[in-house]
Amino acid sequence: MSIDKNRHISLTGIKPTGTPHLGNYVGAIKPALQLIDESAVALYFIADYHALTLIHDPKLLDQLIYEVAATWLAFGLDTDKVVFYRQSDLPEVFELSWILGCMTAKGLMNRAHAYKAAIAQNEAAGNADLDAGINMGLYHYPVLMAADILLFDADIVPVGKDQVQHVEIARDIAQHFNHTFGETLVLPNARLQATAAAIPGLDGRKMSKSYGNTIPLFSDRDKLRKLLFKFVTDSSSPAEPKDPATSPLFALYREFASDDQTEAMRQRFAAGIGWGTVKQELFEVMDAFLTEPRRRYAELLHDRRQIDALLAAGAKRARELAHPTMDRVRRAIGARS
């Protein structure tokens, strides 16, 4: 596959650790799909081995892998235009991960957010062993993510705010490798979606599986409406003007509405609108948007052979793209003459 070096190589991954929810769509899927037209190569992968830090139930992991794949495809991911694959189908990822691990300072991993958060939890619980319950997968996680990125010379990585550090760590590792062995690896850049951090969950906090405040992407109509009406709002009366800039419901509405609909809703906020009306109109625009993806998602999960075939073809293309990078890396370290 030839690559136009005047255009970006972008890479997006999603970890199958839970049923895909609205936050996944707004924070990762939507911005990543928007990168296709400006990318020379756009790569999308299911980070199934990353999920092993949390999931040790094989049946559950298998189900979640298919759910994630079906989600991307249901939202129109065109596998003729992009490279769509499963991480575990690329042995090069794990070879590169080991090589990069040998070039990564332990102190850098000590500063990784996920590891520090796990340490803090043990400290708060009064555990004498601050590393209790922390596996090496969680500790090594940023190196594996660096391999995911650097294997393809990706220079654009769309991420949420809480993932920026992983791209920065990949840059640090690549810089150290290049300083040691000569210019070999391309330095990636994080692309942060401005609205990603503002997408709310049902309780007003960021939508996250860990908070239990998510809305599954493919809920049926009745469940979707019930969940949306559970959104926490303030006690202002319908006649009171409301600020769309601080409203979680408005933040979610604009992600699914047209520009005209969004502007009309902005004006209604200024004039005064009841929260029940906002929730109903949010439901209507979301349900209209999700109707076709919901149908396609169900169709794909009913016949998983479609997903298997697409992922197998994507893995073949991905390995072809990975070969030049691995050839450079192996030569650089002396593993190939």
* Domain ranges across the chain: 8-198+304-333, 218-297
The model's pLDDT over 173-189, given as tens digits with 9 standing for 90+, comes to 999 999 999 999 999 99
CB within 8 Å of 305: residues ≥ 6 apart: none
Measured distance CA(160)–CA(149) in Å, rounded: 15
Determine what percent of the chain is predicted with pLDDT higher than 90. 74
Residue 196, pLDDT above cutoff 80:
no
CB within 8 Å of 299: residues ≥ 6 apart: none
pLDDT band at 28 (very low <50, low <70, confident <90, very high): confident
pLDDT band at 2 (very low <50, low <70, confident <90, very high): very low
- DSSP secondary structure of 214-256: --BTT--HHHHHHHHTT-------TTS---GGG-HHHHHHHHH
Determine what percent of the chain is predicted with pLDDT higher than 70. 96
| Whether CATH 1.20.120.640 fits 218-297 | no
Supply the pLDDT for residue 161: 79
Please give the structure tokens belonging to residue 2: 């030839």
The residue-averaged pLDDT of 310-323 equals 98
* Lowest mean pLDDT across 7-11, 181-185, 288-292, 323-327: 7-11
Give me the count of residues in the chain. Answer: 337
For β-strands 83-86 and 39-46, DSSP reports them as: parallel
Q: Give buried/exposed letters for 157-174 (b at 16+ CB in 10 A, else e).
A: bbbbeebebbbebbbbbb
The model's pLDDT over 254-265, given as tens digits with 9 standing for 90+, comes to 999 999 999 999
3-state helix, strand, coil in the chain (%, to 5): 60, 10, 30
CATH code of the region 8-198+304-333? 3.40.50.620
- DSSP secondary structure of 78-106: -TTTSEEEEGGG-HHHHHHHHHHHTTS-H
Measured distance CA(114)–CA(120) in Å, rounded: 10
Diameter of the chain measured on Cα atoms: 75
The model's pLDDT over 68-109, given as tens digits with 9 standing for 90+, comes to 999 999 999 999 999 999 999 999 999 999 999 999 999 999
Residue type at position 329: V
Measured distance CA(298)–CA(271) in Å, rounded: 41
Residue 197, pLDDT above cutoff 90:
no
The residue-averaged pLDDT of 311-335 equals 97
Supply the pLDDT for residue 47: 96
Relative orientation angle of helices 248-256 and 275-302, to the nearest 10 degrees? 50
Is the model more confident about 199 or about 272? 272
Of the candidates 24, 17, 7, which has an alpha carbon nearest to the alpha carbon of residue 218?
A: 24
**Is pTM, for the whole model, over 0.85?**
yes
The model's pLDDT over 108-167, given as tens digits with 9 standing for 90+, comes to 999 999 999 999 999 999 999 999 999 999 999 999 999 999 999 999 998 877 789 999
Measured distance CA(141)–CA(44) in Å, rounded: 18
Q: Average pLDDT of the chain?
A: 91
